[in-house]
Amino acid sequence: MGSLTLEQALSVTDGTFQAGTKSQSAPLTVAVLDSGGKLISLQRQDGSSMMRPDIAIAKAWGALALGCSSRKLAQDADSRPAFISAVNVLAHGNMVPVPGGLLIRDAEQNILGAVGVSGDQSDVDENCALGGIDFAQLYSDDVTG
């Protein structure tokens, strides 16, 4: 399994901020984790509130830990709340099952890491994260399903 480079992580972050500017989002915080779940980059735009770094990291961490987008985790929380609650206990509360956390993949679909975005509505966060991944010429999973 490969992992993201710092350059790639910063490119994802830059692209996410550009997508946020284009969509006129609220100030965003972007966390990028490597394939082992360790923080590579954490950047917070001016005006992004103080809990946003923790939320962004938890969105990315949950996606990476369970191998799916945090949107999928939110769907699981709706259909299997006891399971997601139990997993979050095992994760010591480090998982936020709402849209905005995405796996980052290479062209061969290998997981390189994850990005978590927080600051606006969860759907906006997710769309900005997708923009960041695309900007870095990397890939994620289909989150429309």
140, part of any domain: no
Q: Taking a C-beta distance cutoff of 8 angstroms, is the pair 101, 31 a contact?
A: no
94, part of any domain: yes
pLDDT of residue 34: 97
* Structural domain count, the chain: 1
pLDDT of residue 93: 87
Residue 107 Cα distances to 2, 104, 111, 145, angstroms: 12, 10, 10, 21
108, part of any domain: yes
Q: Taking a C-beta distance cutoff of 8 angstroms, is the pair 62, 91 a contact?
A: yes
The CATH number of whichever domain residue 67 belongs to comes to 3.30.450.150
Give residue for tokens 């990397």.
138
pLDDT of residue 144: 62
36, part of any domain: yes
The boundaries of the domain holding residue 120 are 6-135
| 8-state DSSP, 99 | S
Per-residue pLDDT of the chain (145 residues; tens, 9 = 90+): 688 999 999 999 999 999 999 999 999 999 999 999 999 999 999 999 999 999 999 999 999 999 999 999 999 999 999 999 999 899 998 899 999 999 999 999 999 999 999 999 999 999 999 999 999 999 998 776 5
pLDDT of residue 1: 63
144, part of any domain: no
142, part of any domain: no
143, part of any domain: no
35, part of any domain: yes
